[in-house]
Every structure is written in structure tokens, then in C-alpha cells.
Homo-oligomer: A and B are copies of this chain.
Amino acid sequence: MEFLTARQKIVGTKIFDILSKMPKGGLLHIHLGATVRPDILLNLGLLYPAIHVRASAPITETTIKTTLPIFSALPKEEWTATCSLTDSSYKPDTWVPLQNARNNFSPALGGPEGFDRWVIDAMMINPSEAYGTHNTPDLIWKKFQSTFTVSEGMYGYIPLWTEYIRQFFLSSVEDGISYTEPRMIFFGDFVTGADGRKNVSHRDCLAIFDRVVKEVKEDLTKQGRGDDFLGSRIIYSTLRLVAPEQLEHYLEDCLALAQEFPHLIAGFDLVGAEDSLKPLIHYAEPLLKFIERQKELGLYIPFMFHAGETLGDGSPADMNLYDAILLGTKRIGHGFSLYKHPRLMELCKEREICIEVCPISNEILRLCGSMPMHPLPALMNQGLHVALCSDDPSIFGNMGLSFDFFQVFVASEVNTLATLREFVWDSIRFSSLSDDEKSRAYGMLERQWSKFIQYILTTYGKVEYAH
């Protein structure tokens, strides 16, 4: 059964209950713009009067299915319109205050709850899209990308963003994730300041990130839960559609940020649909120069490239695996097509390149029909190191890591708790934490794991076989 169809059933199982209590270690592959549940994001949006919404047509029973809500924070002098998006007189693309748009959403379309459904649906992929109308990688990527078009106008507003990041950390901790390395995209100027203007520097974004990490740490330590959160570092990412010269600008930006926030930059990546955007080789020159520049500056910003997130065989996206390894990538994001390449798997083993496998993401983005078709066992049987990751959980509905662990656990007759434990430890081992931090993390994991086993025994001890 496919994940989105099975999701409700999964939540009701004992295995899921157990896995949701399991310490997960680090989360090494997640896009920061898809980390907070859409309903929570919308509720955050409603707290800020600056946030406005618009649509390209009046919303009716017909247009609601195909029209996206677009959000943006506006400067105060632009807070004027109070019309309803569902009114036939609504002038397309007029900004309406969010609270107002919600309250005045036509009762015929469900009123405020109907508004919520419209917005939340536009930020998620549902089963009939994934397995029906958009049942190919190309089609589902269109829907996938449109969810960011909807959400970025909210999470890109700096006051909201601060709470957004906090929410991401807290919900991760809730699922037993004690460390995260989200990919943060630097591209264009979608980030909006408190005053509703697009005047926020990359440095400011990172400073806020830094502050929230510290605040969450302090809060949890005060509650005696210091072990639960070891912190977070970003993987500086831009899109694989910039020109090579533009990339140089981003790489220099990354170097500057790493000099100011050496404890916050875990690595560098290029993101976006591999099948349709530029392959890594397109950027070979600036990327090689980046390595030289690091040496000059005494920095270490490892590559953590997306590669092989494709069904292609010998296609440029498949060939990205070769280039990622040639460029010395420390980890590979997805590596879905890696199982086809025996020599590359050997190299990953020799060079201890960890594969960030995102089972649910791959299934929903139609690289495999269902979890038993996922090539993960091929990588594991080759002895490769794997960290299980959630990729874009707010869009896929796989918040935390419990769902991905569940999918991997039940799709195989050979996986046991010991297998899952291996993933958890590898997620620390292949993180960018220092050796000292890793030692502390392993110690913490040992304590958490003992408590976890104790939970299983206490709760299910009377059942001979929980599986």
C-alpha cells in the first residue's frame, strides 16, 4: 500500500507507537521550507497582521481547485483592501489581509474552515494527486513545487520565520530527533523583514537561526531535557538553475557566512529537480574554485550534494552521482539511482560517503510505486552507510522521522531494531558535529536507547511478538 493511502492505518499500529518513541539521532536531509505542518504554519500566519493573501481569480467552487493562495507580508502603508477572495467583485491579485480573507471566505465554500482547507491542501500532496492525476515524477514535481509557492510567502516573513524555526526544532525533538542539518535555500529575495520590506540579509537570517537554536537549547535545558536537543546547522543551498557566474557569488556568500558563523554551516548543496535543472558538471569550475577558496581561508565546508534523485539510467541526473563523488561529496542526498552503479557503491564504501535516503519522499515523488520497490536494501546489503531522512515532511505528511523508519521497517523481513539503531548511530557519525560533540551525542543516544527499550518492555512486554 502506498504511504499516503496507508498513513492513517500506520498511525494506529503498535509498531508506529514504538517507533515514535525511538530516539532518532540526527536528521540530515530536510528542506527548511518544508519542516512545519501546514496547519501550524497557517496559524502562525494568522498572528501577523502584515501577512496578506491573494489569488489570480475570485475563488469559486470551480476555481478553488486550480487557484493557489499566494501570501506575502506587506509594509503597513499597503494594508488597505478588505474585500473577500470569494466575492465575484474580487479584483484578481489584490492583496487581502489574511485574517480578513479567512473570516470573509464564502460560507458556500465552507467559510473560515473552507479557507483553511484550501490553503492547507495547496501546501500538501494528497493521495489522489500522487497516485492518480500526477502519477509520474514530472507531474508530481509540478504540484510539489507549487506548495513552496504557497508557503514561502508566510515562512519567509522574518517575525514568523523565527517562530517557524522554533516550531521545527520543537516538533523534531518531540519525535526523538536531537540534531538537525536542514538545507536552507539562498536564492532571490523572498525573505521579508518585520517592516514588510525585502531588506533582510543572509547574515540576518543566519543570526536569527543562531539565536533560536540557543533559545531552544536553553529552554529545554531548564526543563531538564538538555539531552534532547544538540542543536542545528544549516547546509547552505542554492538552486541548480543559477548561472555558473551567479553560483560564484553564492559560494563567496557561503564562505563569508562560514567565517562569521563557523558553528552554523554544515556544508554546501545545489537543490531543485535534478531531471530538469542543470547537472553538477555545469558548475564544475566554480565548485572546484570553492574548494581552493576554502583552503585559502582555512575553512571546511563539505559538499553534500543531491545526486541520483531520478529514474534516469545514464541521464544527466544519474551522472550527477559520478560528479558528486569526483567533487569529493561527504554525503549524497537521495542517491536513488546509486544501486545501479556497482563501482560507485564501492567508492562510497571506501570513502565513507553516507547516503541520505528519503524513502517516503521517493515514493511520493514517484521514483518507486511503493516502499517494497525502494532500492534501499540494495545499498544496505552493499554495506553502505545510510541516514534515513524525511526531505519535505510538511508536504508529504511524514513529520519527524517515525514514518520513514516505519516504512523501512515493515517493507523488509530482515530489518530489526538493530538495523534501525544502525541508521540512528550513522546519522550522528555522518553529521558535521565535531568529534567531541559526537562523543557526547553517542553517550546521550545510549541513555535514550536504554529508556526506549525499557518503554517497549514495559508497554508491550507481555506480548510475545510485537511485530
Interface residues of A (CB under 8 A from B): 1, 136, 311-315, 318, 339-342, 366-370, 372-373, 375, 377-378, 381-382, 411-415
* Known contacts A341-B381, A378-B339: A372-B413 contact under CB 8 Å: no
Chain B's closest residue to A367 (CB) is B373
Find chain B residues with CB under 8 A from A414 CB.
313-314
One of B313, B315, B340, B378 near A340 (C-beta < 8 A): B378
Find chain B residues with CB under 8 A from A373 CB.
311, 367-369, 373
Whether A369 pairs with B368 at a CB distance below 8 angstroms is yes
CA distance A374 to B411 in the complex (A): 18
CA distance A313 to B369 in the complex (A): 16
One of B1, B312, B411 near A372 (C-beta < 8 A): B312
One of B315, B342, B366, B413 near A381 (C-beta < 8 A): B342
Whether B369 pairs with A413 at a CB distance below 8 angstroms is no
- Shortest CB-to-CB span from A132 to chain B, Å, is 9
8 contacts between A and B (CB under 8 A): A1-B136, A136-B370, A313-B411, A313-B412, A314-B413, A315-B413, A342-B342, A373-B373
CA distance A378 to B314 in the complex (A): 12
Find chain B residues with CB under 8 A from A367 CB.
373
* Known contacts A368-B373, A369-B366: A382-B342 contact under CB 8 Å: yes
Find chain B residues with CB under 8 A from A342 CB.
342, 381-382
Say how many copies of this protein the assembly contains. Answer: 2
Shortest 5 CB-CB contacts between residues of A and residues of B: A369-B369, A314-B414, A314-B413, A311-B372, A313-B412
- Shortest CB-to-CB span from A317 to chain B, Å, is 10
Chain B's closest residue to A316 (CB) is B413
Interface centre among A313, A375, A377 (most CB of B within 10 A): A313
Find chain B residues with CB under 8 A from A315 CB.
413
Interface of A is mostly: loop
CA distance A269 to B205 in the complex (A): 65
CA distance A368 to B367 in the complex (A): 10
Whether A339 pairs with B372 at a CB distance below 8 angstroms is no
CA distance A136 to B366 in the complex (A): 16
CA distance A370 to B369 in the complex (A): 8
Q: A313-B414, A378-B378 are in contact. List 5 more A-B contacts (CB 8 A).
A: A312-B372, A342-B381, A342-B382, A369-B369, A369-B373
- Shortest CB-to-CB span from A138 to chain B, Å, is 11
Chain B's closest residue to A343 (CB) is B381
* Known contacts A314-B413, A411-B313, A413-B313: A375-B375 contact under CB 8 Å: yes
CA distance A293 to B341 in the complex (A): 42
- Shortest CB-to-CB span from A118 to chain B, Å, is 28
- Shortest CB-to-CB span from A431 to chain B, Å, is 27
CA distance A317 to B367 in the complex (A): 24
Whether A314 pairs with B382 at a CB distance below 8 angstroms is no
- Shortest CB-to-CB span from A312 to chain B, Å, is 7
Chain B's closest residue to A368 (CB) is B373
Chain B's closest residue to A339 (CB) is B378
CA distance A240 to B450 in the complex (A): 45
CA distance A341 to B312 in the complex (A): 22
Chain B's closest residue to A379 (CB) is B340
Find chain B residues with CB under 8 A from A415 CB.
313
- Shortest CB-to-CB span from A142 to chain B, Å, is 16
Find chain B residues with CB under 8 A from A381 CB.
340-342
Whether B366 pairs with A314 at a CB distance below 8 angstroms is no
CA distance A314 to B416 in the complex (A): 12
Whether B372 pairs with A340 at a CB distance below 8 angstroms is no
Find chain B residues with CB under 8 A from A341 CB.
381
CA distance A375 to B313 in the complex (A): 10
Whether B368 pairs with A313 at a CB distance below 8 angstroms is no
Find chain B residues with CB under 8 A from A1 CB.
136
Find chain B residues with CB under 8 A from A340 CB.
375, 377-378, 381
- Shortest CB-to-CB span from A347 to chain B, Å, is 14
CA distance A340 to B1 in the complex (A): 21
Find chain B residues with CB under 8 A from A375 CB.
339-340, 375, 378
Whether B377 pairs with A313 at a CB distance below 8 angstroms is yes
Find chain B residues with CB under 8 A from A382 CB.
342
- Shortest CB-to-CB span from A379 to chain B, Å, is 9
